[in-house]
């Protein structure tokens, strides 16, 4: 980010974050780098990239909310709570506790639960949910239903499937 901020083309470079451990804070932060008596500023213009594989509608809503909060300087303690919640959700899906072994299967499992996939099969038959990962997904679904798209998918899946 510093290298881009200091670049003569900083205004032409869009920065995106995929940092699942700190993604909300990344999106809220205005990065400021002093050099030669001048301040150079840059911020991420997008992110939640891995998280967009599932729960896309709610992610767009969260992203728009975060963008407004950053622009308005309205960073509140509740946004730090949201940051921890999104990180928790990402951990259940992408499986960093097991070196990301259940990453693809985790994505497939969320899509299967929504009715968008029939199973969680992967090209590599060794890729499966990690031990305890299904229970972690159960837990985050129970804790953060407002950040899942299950209702949206349920309301639209018949229409989407008829268009295929």
pTM for the full predicted model: 0.86
- Per the structure, the count of domains in the chain is 1
Q: What is the pLDDT of residue 48?
A: 66
Would residue 162 count as lying in a domain?
A: no
Is residue 24 packed enough to be buried (19+ CB in 10 Å), middle (13-18) or exposed (0-12)?
buried
Q: Which domain holds residue 15?
A: 2-156
Dmax (CA) for the chain in angstroms is 61
164 within domain boundaries: no
What does the pLDDT read at residue 44?
Answer: 93
Within-domain flag for 163: no
Would you say residue 56 lies in a domain? yes
Q: Give pLDDT, residue 131.
A: 96
Contact 140, 90 (CB under 8 A): no
Angstrom CA distances, 90 to 25, 31, 36, stand at 14, 24, 39
pLDDT on residue 49 = 67
Question: What does the alpha-carbon distance between residue 68 and residue 73 come to, in Å, rounded to a whole number?
Answer: 8
């Amino acid at each position: 980010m510093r290298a881009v901020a200091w670049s003569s083309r900083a205004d032409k470079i869009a920065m995106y974050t995929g940092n699942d451990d700190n993604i909300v804070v990344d999106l809220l932060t205005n990065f400021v780098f002093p050099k030669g008596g001048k301040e150079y500023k840059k911020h991420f213009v997008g992110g939640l990239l891995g998280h967009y594989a599932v729960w896309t509608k709610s992610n767009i809503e969260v992203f728009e909310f975060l963008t407004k909060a950053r622009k308005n300087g309205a960073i509140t303690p509740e946004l730090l709570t949201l940051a921890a919640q999104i990180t928790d959700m990402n951990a259940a899906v992408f499986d960093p506790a097991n070196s990301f072994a259940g990453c693809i299967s985790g994505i497939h499992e969320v899509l299967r639960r929504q009715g968008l996939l029939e199973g969680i099969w992967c090209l590599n038959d060794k890729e499966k949910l990690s031990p305890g990962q299904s229970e972690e997904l159960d837990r985050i679904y129970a804790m953060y239903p407002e950040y899942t798209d299950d209702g949206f998918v349920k309301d639209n899946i018949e229409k989407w499937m008829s268009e295929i």
